């Protein structure tokens, strides 16, 4: 058997949630004997390496893990704002296709031939590169199947008159402001919650639309559309596009609690796990808003005082860049925080599986949503942008495993509202019961004979036969 057999290159979109999802998939593939090259942007690769302390990095090298880290430029400078999605997408298309091609040719030239490319659907242009080089490929969607279906459905939205095909405004949902549906079996969406309709100015929205249109077009170069979801969560979207194969929930397996997860942009504070060990069962409010969400000083103050007002233990993740506008985060003078623990970043999958966790105050990113659902944890929903609002709708209205917050006339979620919703959620035993039932349904998908497990095995067998 040659040393380069079954060598898979994995390419995530350069955002933390996307990297997490594709890293878990990479580890699963590696556990079945495949060699993996995981390609981050240079910027994110440096963050990942920095987040690993020296002892852990040496241990990973010693064990010769089959997931090898590599990187290419995203086309942006060190001073550029990578949270500006439109600018990031422009830079990616300007730089990364040629960089990826050079990387693959370099690997192939060393005799470690790439036999398959697995790309984030938001990096679907990579299939153009793999097609050019004669390499088989697949795409993986780290967001909902419904969002994937919406993007696949864009030509039909134009055809049916829901979207205007005019070149200057074709990214808008024509004459619609508010809710619309792409299928009666898929929860309604809102134009204000769609990336190409709500992020930035008109030029930014057109850039995002054009980027998504290109990646979706390229996704048709493969027959393998994988998604981190389950059929029970999204029967409508998966029935509308049966080519989308659910392989979720993607879960890390048998990971030692003393180690940090590979692929994190910030160093995980493991002390929070020891702190959780000291808390009563089902008592802790876990508060985390992902890698993008920012707060203005007023909202940050209300959140801090709202947690204090609950008089319950809380674990609160506060990134160094959680504030907006360049202002330094300042905790209010009256905030004591005695009942809680505040950290910069956590091993979230381990936190959510801890018996002390009572609920999850979340931005409703899909990765966080899947992790919470997989552990039977009820949600308090605080979406920040784009499809997170659709995820919130599913959590609260479709699956009924969480509650949302209501903002005041100034758009602020008050401390009183935070306490009110925490109390309502934790006093409603039916929500926890539905959460635990949904957990069982999801976990059955990745057990022997489960739908997601069988889909993953079919894909794995296909990959293993590529170099036969």
Alpha helix ranges (H) inside 259-387: 271-277, 297-310, 348-352, 366-374
The top-level CATH class assigned to 7-251+447-465 is alpha beta
Looking only at Cα atoms, what is the longest distance across the chain? 67
- Beta strand segments in 147-213, E: 179-180, 189-190
**Whole-angstrom Cα distance, residue 185 to residue 192?**
21
Return the domain boundaries, the chain: 7-251+447-465, 271-444
Neighbours of 416 (CB within 10 A): 13
Angle of helix 145-152 relative to helix 202-219, nearest 10 degrees, comes to: 90
Angle of helix 16-31 relative to helix 366-374, nearest 10 degrees, comes to: 50
Domains 7-251+447-465 and 271-444 share a fold: yes
CB within 8 Å of 188: residues ≥ 6 apart: 179, 180, 181, 393
CB within 8 Å of 139: residues ≥ 6 apart: 118, 119, 120, 121, 124, 127, 219, 222, 224, 225, 226
Name the pairing type of β-strands 189-190 and 179-180. Answer: antiparallel
Do residues 164 and 158 lie in contact, with contact meaning Cβ atoms separated by under 8 Å?
Answer: yes
Predicted local distance difference test score (pLDDT) of residue 176: 56
**Whole-angstrom Cα distance, residue 307 to residue 341?**
11
Name the pairing type of β-strands 225-227 and 189-190. Answer: unpaired
CB within 8 Å of 412: residues ≥ 6 apart: 298, 299, 302
Predicted local distance difference test score (pLDDT) of residue 115: 96
Task: Give the pLDDT confidence of 280-323 residue by residue, as tens digits.
Answer: 999 999 999 987 778 899 999 999 999 999 999 999 999 876 55
**Whole-angstrom Cα distance, residue 418 to residue 381?**
11
Count CA atoms within 13 Å of residue 267 on its CB side.
11
CB within 8 Å of 59: residues ≥ 6 apart: none
Beta bridge partners of 118: 10, 138
Predicted local distance difference test score (pLDDT) of residue 60: 55
What is the value of pTM for the model shown? 0.91
Beta bridge partners of 314: 285, 340
Phi then psi dihedrals of residue 102, to 5 deg: -65, -40
Do residues 173 and 195 lie in contact, with contact meaning Cβ atoms separated by under 8 Å?
Answer: no
pLDDT in tens, the chain (468 residues): 344 469 999 999 999 999 999 999 999 999 999 999 999 999 999 999 988 865 455 555 555 567 999 999 999 998 888 889 999 999 999 999 999 999 999 999 998 899 999 999 999 999 999 999 999 999 999 999 999 999 998 888 777 666 665 544 444 554 556 788 889 999 998 887 777 777 778 888 888 989 999 999 999 999 999 999 999 999 999 999 999 999 999 987 655 444 567 888 888 999 999 999 999 999 999 999 987 778 899 999 999 999 999 999 999 999 876 555 455 678 998 998 889 999 999 999 999 999 999 999 999 999 999 999 999 999 999 999 888 999 999 999 999 999 999 999 999 999 999 999 999 999 999 999 999 999 999 999 999 999 999 999 999 999 999 974
Concatenating the DSSP letter of every residue in 120-132 gives EGGGTTHHHHHHH
Q: Where does residue 134 fall: left (phi above 0), alpha (psi -120 to 50 degrees), or beta otherwise?
A: left
Considering the segment(s) 271-444 as one domain, its CATH architecture is 3-Layer(aba) Sandwich (3.40)
**Whole-angstrom Cα distance, residue 113 to residue 102?**
13
Predicted local distance difference test score (pLDDT) of residue 312: 97
Do residues 317 and 284 lie in contact, with contact meaning Cβ atoms separated by under 8 Å?
Answer: no
**Whole-angstrom Cα distance, residue 265 to residue 275?**
23
Do residues 90 and 49 lie in contact, with contact meaning Cβ atoms separated by under 8 Å?
Answer: no
Q: Is the dihedral of CA 255, 260, 266, 267 positive or negative?
A: positive
**Whole-angstrom Cα distance, residue 155 to residue 168?**
16
């Amino acid at each position: 058997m040659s040393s380069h057999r079954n060598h898979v290159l994995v390419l995530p979109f350069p955002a933390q949630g996307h990297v997490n999802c594709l890293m878990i998939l990479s580890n699963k593939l590696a556990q079945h004997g495949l060699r993996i090259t995981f390609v981050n942007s240079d910027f994110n690769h440096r963050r990942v390496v920095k987040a690993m302390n020296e002892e852990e990095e040496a241990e990973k090298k010693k064990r010769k893990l089959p997931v090898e880290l590599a990187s290419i430029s995203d086309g942006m400078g060190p001073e550029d704002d990578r949270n500006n999605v439109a600018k990031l997408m422009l830079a990616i298309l300007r730089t990364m296709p040629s960089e990826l091609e050079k990387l693959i040719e370099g690997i192939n030239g060393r005799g470690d031939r790439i036999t398959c490319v697995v790309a984030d659907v938001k990096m679907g242009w990579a299939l153009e590169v793999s097609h050019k080089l004669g390499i088989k490929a697949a795409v993986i969607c780290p967001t909902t199947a419904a969002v994937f279906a919406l993007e696949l459905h864009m030509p039909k939205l134009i055809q049916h008159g829901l979207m205007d095909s005019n070149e200057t405004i074709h990214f808008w949902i024509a004459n619609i402001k508010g809710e619309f549906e792409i299928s009666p079996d898929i929860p309604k969406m809102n134009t204000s919650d769609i990336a190409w309709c709500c992020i930035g100015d008109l030029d930014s929205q057109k850039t995002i639309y054009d980027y998504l249109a290109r990646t979706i077009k390229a996704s048709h170069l493969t027959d393998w559309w994988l998604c981190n979801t389950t059929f029970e969560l999204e029967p409508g979207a998966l029935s509308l596009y049966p080519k989308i194969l659910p392989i979720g929930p993607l879960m890390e397996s048998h990971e030692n609690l003393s180690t940090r997860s590979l692929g994190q942009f910030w160093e995980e504070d493991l002390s929070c796990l020891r702190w959780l060990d000291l808390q009563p069962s089902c008592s802790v409010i876990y508060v985390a808003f992902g890698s993008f969400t920012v707060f203005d000083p007023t909202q940050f103050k209300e959140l801090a005082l709202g947690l204090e007002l609950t008089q319950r233990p809380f674990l609160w993740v506060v990134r160094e860049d959680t504030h907006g506008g360049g202002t330094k985060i300042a905790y209010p003078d009256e905030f004591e925080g005695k009942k809680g623990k505040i950290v910069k970043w956590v091993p979230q999958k381990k936190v959510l599986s801890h018996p002390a966790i009572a609920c999850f105050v979340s931005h409703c990113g899909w990765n966080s949503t899947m992790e919470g659902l997989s552990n039977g944890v009820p949600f308090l929903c605080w979406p920040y942008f784009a499809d997170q609002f659709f995820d919130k709708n599913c959590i609260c209205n479709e699956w009924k495993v969480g509650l949302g917050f209501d903002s005041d006339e100034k758009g602020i979620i008050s401390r009183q509202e935070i306490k009110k919703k925490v109390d309502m959620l934790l006093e409603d035993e039916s929500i926890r019961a539905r959460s635990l039932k949904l957990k069982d349904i999801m976990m059955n998908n990745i057990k022997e004979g489960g739908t997601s497990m069988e889909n993953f095995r079919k894909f794995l067998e296909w990959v293993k036969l590529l170099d036969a």
